[in-house]
């Protein structure tokens, strides 16, 4: 059947597709055909031998097929489950202090400057461009306490075509830098304004997320009210948990009546199946069980955890507890905006736990590739929409060229015979960068190279 009424396909690609499934951390599909509908959804992914059948069914001609080179491949877009957009201003600097001192000396004074929407526009434009260029098709952003500049971040992500959650940060406590906080009432009222404004704008791929900064900067009243806002509008929630020993101790002292850090969020309506908590380095087995029971997820931010000397997340334990897990850059506690860097640092952390005999088994690079794509999509509750190349999902994808001009990867004869080998894919994961990411698609739309209209 070739329905004349059917809109033409947006893309038909022939070549190698690399993605994860829940049963296979890295599946390499060579000489396959993938079709993308007008609405950006994957409509088929089959062996190229099925071309004739597919051409009849989907009404396309051979000349409409774009053939990749033998060394190129598509992989799913990278999902950054935790990034602070305003902190991109100082990314790559100022990682010389532990968390609480770092927040006071560098982070809060920087975020204070986002009262100015002009300043925000410059930094937010740069962070969205940089992350997209590095293959982040979905980002879960913290903005600042300022509603108007947070709305601007949502507008900019939408304009560039990045899929995103954007959160106006909430904090009604700040003893070490009191200039940067809100009253409880303001925080609630402004969150309602932020959420209703974004929902009204009806962006196709940019959504609001409720963002209490962390237990140390929120009163119980504020946490509970934010939980209620999330429930009313069925929204996602993000925060930080158990990142650093001093922070864990301070939470114990501030909230002595709770069983543990997780209990503070749980009893105040913030631990739901739409919650993503960054770090979790010091969560107990009991706390991980609560995460699983609630369906809440963890964002593993290895660069930040190492750079701020916060700790090591035992990702193998988290996965053993069946807790959803994704990767995050945590810019600017993490100095790199690239998820490829997060993949490498996650391997370093996993190997460190192995060397120190804390774990008997580490993560494979294929498993970390899954965390960066499918795992991240699950952590953000988007695994029905994105995360791999399953038919019916949106086409969020990166076209990788390991032989791009000025590529940081050297390939040798053995790497180049036949279609892409597993070794070349690994070389990209360990050595590649944005020079190898030739094209980026979100919802079937080409967003990198940037269009001249943005
Ligand atoms: N905990 C509370 N706020 C922050 C932040 O901005 N970055 C990190 N890494 N941890 C936090
Ligand atoms: Fe963070």
Q: Measured between alpha carbons, how far is 302 from 346 in angstroms, rounded to an integer?
A: 6
Q: What is the mean pLDDT of the chain?
A: 97
Angular region, 22: left φ>0, alpha ψ -120 to 50, beta rest: alpha
What's the pLDDT at 4? 55
Per-residue pLDDT tens digits for 149-165: 999 999 999 999 999 99
Closest-lying ligand 1 atom to the alpha carbon of residue 310: 9
Mean pLDDT of 329-343: 98
Closest-lying ligand 1 atom to the alpha carbon of residue 333: 9
Closest-lying ligand 1 atom to the alpha carbon of residue 243: 10
Alpha helices in 270-338 (DSSP H): 285-294, 302-307, 315-320
Pocket perturbation via mutation, ligand 1, pick of 86, 298, 333, 336 by most ligand atoms within 8 A of CB? 333
Mean pLDDT of 240-269: 98
Per-residue pLDDT tens digits for 354-365: 999 999 999 999
Strands 11-19 and 66-67: parallel
The reply to whether ligand 1 has any atom less than 6 angstroms from the CB of 304 is: yes
Cα of 246 to ligand 1 centre, how many Å?
Answer: 13
The reply to whether ligand 1 has any atom less than 6 angstroms from the CB of 103 is: yes
Output phi, psi for 161, to 5 deg.
85, 20
Q: Which residue minimizes the CA distance to atom 8 of ligand 1?
A: 333
pLDDT band at 242 (very low <50, low <70, confident <90, very high): very high
Mean pLDDT of 96-102: 98
Mean pLDDT of 385-392: 98
Mean pLDDT of 107-127: 98
pLDDT band at 3 (very low <50, low <70, confident <90, very high): low
Per-residue CA distances from 20 to 27, 383, 386, 388 (Å): 6, 12, 11, 6
The answer, as to whether pTM is greater than 0.75, is: yes
Pocket perturbation via mutation, ligand 1, pick of 170, 175, 240 by most ligand atoms within 8 A of CB? 240
Percent of the chain with pLDDT over 70: 99
Q: Is the dihedral of CA 287, 289, 291, 293 positive or negative?
A: negative
Closest-lying ligand 1 atom to the alpha carbon of residue 247: 1
Per-residue DSSP letters for 146-185? -HHHHHHHHHHHHHHT-EEEEE-EE-S--SSSTTS---HH
What's the pLDDT at 1? 55
Pocket perturbation via mutation, ligand 1, pick of 89, 99, 239, 332 by most ligand atoms within 8 A of CB? 99
pLDDT at 2 over 90: no
Cα of 103 to ligand 1 centre, how many Å?
Answer: 7
The reply to whether ligand 1 has any atom less than 6 angstroms from the CB of 84 is: yes
Residue 112 · residue 179 · CB < 8 Å: yes
Cα of 84 to ligand 2 centre, how many Å?
Answer: 6
What's the pLDDT at 364? 98
By the 10 Å C-beta count (0-12 exposed, 13-18 middle, 19+ buried), 212 is classed as buried
Mean pLDDT of 180-197: 98
Strands 445-448 and 437-442: antiparallel
Q: Measured between alpha carbons, how far is 8 from 17 in angstroms, rounded to an integer?
A: 22
Pocket perturbation via mutation, ligand 1, pick of 97, 102, 213 by most ligand atoms within 8 A of CB? 213
The reply to whether ligand 1 has any atom less than 6 angstroms from the CB of 330 is: yes
pLDDT at 169 over 90: yes
pLDDT band at 6 (very low <50, low <70, confident <90, very high): confident
Cα of 65 to ligand 2 centre, how many Å?
Answer: 43
Residue 169 · residue 143 · CB < 8 Å: yes
What does the buried/exposed string (b/e) look like for 175-192 if buried means 16 or more CB atoms within 10 Å of the residue's CB?
A: eeeeebbbebeebbebbe
Cα of 313 to ligand 2 centre, how many Å?
Answer: 14
Q: Measured between alpha carbons, how far is 381 from 394 in angstroms, rounded to an integer?
A: 14
Longest CA–CA separation in the chain, Å: 68
Q: Evaluate the omega torsion of the peptide bond into residue 193 and state whether it is cis, within 30 degrees of 0.
A: no
């Amino acid at each position: 059947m070739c329905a004349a009424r059917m809109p033409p396909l947006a893309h038909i690609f022939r070549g190698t597709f690399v993605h994860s499934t829940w049963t296979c951390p890295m599946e390499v599909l060579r000489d396959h055909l993938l079709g993308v509908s007008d609405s950006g959804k994957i409509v088929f992914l089959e062996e190229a031998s099925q071309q004739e059948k597919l051409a009849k069914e989907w009404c396309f001609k051979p000349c409409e097929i774009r053939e990749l080179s033998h060394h190129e491949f598509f992989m799913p877009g990278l999902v950054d489950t935790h990034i602070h957009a305003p902190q991109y201003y100082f990314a790559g600097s100022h990682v010389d202090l532990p968390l609480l001192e770092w927040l006071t000396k560098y982070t809060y004074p920087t975020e204070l400057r986002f009262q100015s929407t002009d300043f925000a526009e410059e930094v937010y434009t740069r962070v969205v461009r940089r992350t997209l260029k590095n293959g982040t098709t979905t980002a879960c952003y913290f903005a600042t306490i300022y509603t108007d500049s947070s709305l601007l971040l949502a507008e900019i992500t939408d304009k560039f075509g990045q899929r995103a959650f954007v959160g106006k940060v909430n904090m009604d406590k700040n003893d070490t830098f009191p200039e940067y906080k809100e009253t409880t009432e303001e925080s609630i009222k402004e969150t309602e304004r932020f959420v209703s404004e974004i929902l009204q704008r009806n962006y196709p791929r940019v959504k609001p997320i409720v963002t209490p900064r962390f237990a140390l900067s929120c009163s119980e009243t504020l946490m509970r009210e934010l939980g209620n806002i999330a429930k009313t509008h069925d929204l996602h929630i993000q925060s930080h948990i158990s990142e650093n020993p001093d922070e864990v101790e301070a939470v114990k002292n501030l909230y002595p009546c709770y069983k543990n850090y997780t209990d503070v969020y749980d009893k105040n309506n913030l631990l739901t199946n739409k919650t993503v908590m960054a770090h979790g380095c010091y969560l107990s087995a009991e706390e991980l069980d609560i995460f699983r029971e609630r369906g809440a997820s963890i964002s593993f931010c290895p660069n930040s955890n190492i750079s701020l000397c916060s700790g090591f997340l035992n990702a193998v334990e988290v996965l053993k507890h069946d807790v959803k897990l994704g990767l995050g850059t945590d810019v600017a506690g993490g100095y790199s905006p690239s998820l490829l860097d997060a993949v490498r640092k996650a391997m370093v952390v996993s190997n460190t736990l192995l060397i120190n005999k804390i774990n008997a088994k580490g993560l494979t690079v294929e498993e970390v590739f899954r965390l960066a794509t499918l795992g991240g999509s699950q952590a953000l509750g988007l695994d029905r929409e994105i995360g791999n190349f399953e038919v019916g999902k949106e086409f969020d994808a990166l076209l990788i060229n390991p032989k791009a001009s000025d590529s940081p990867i050297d390939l040798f004869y053995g790497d180049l015979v036949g279609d892409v080998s597993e070794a070349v894919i690994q070389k990209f994961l360990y050595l590649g960068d944005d020079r190898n990411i030739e094209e980026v698609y979100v919802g079937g739309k080409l967003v990198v190279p940037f269009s001249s209209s943005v």
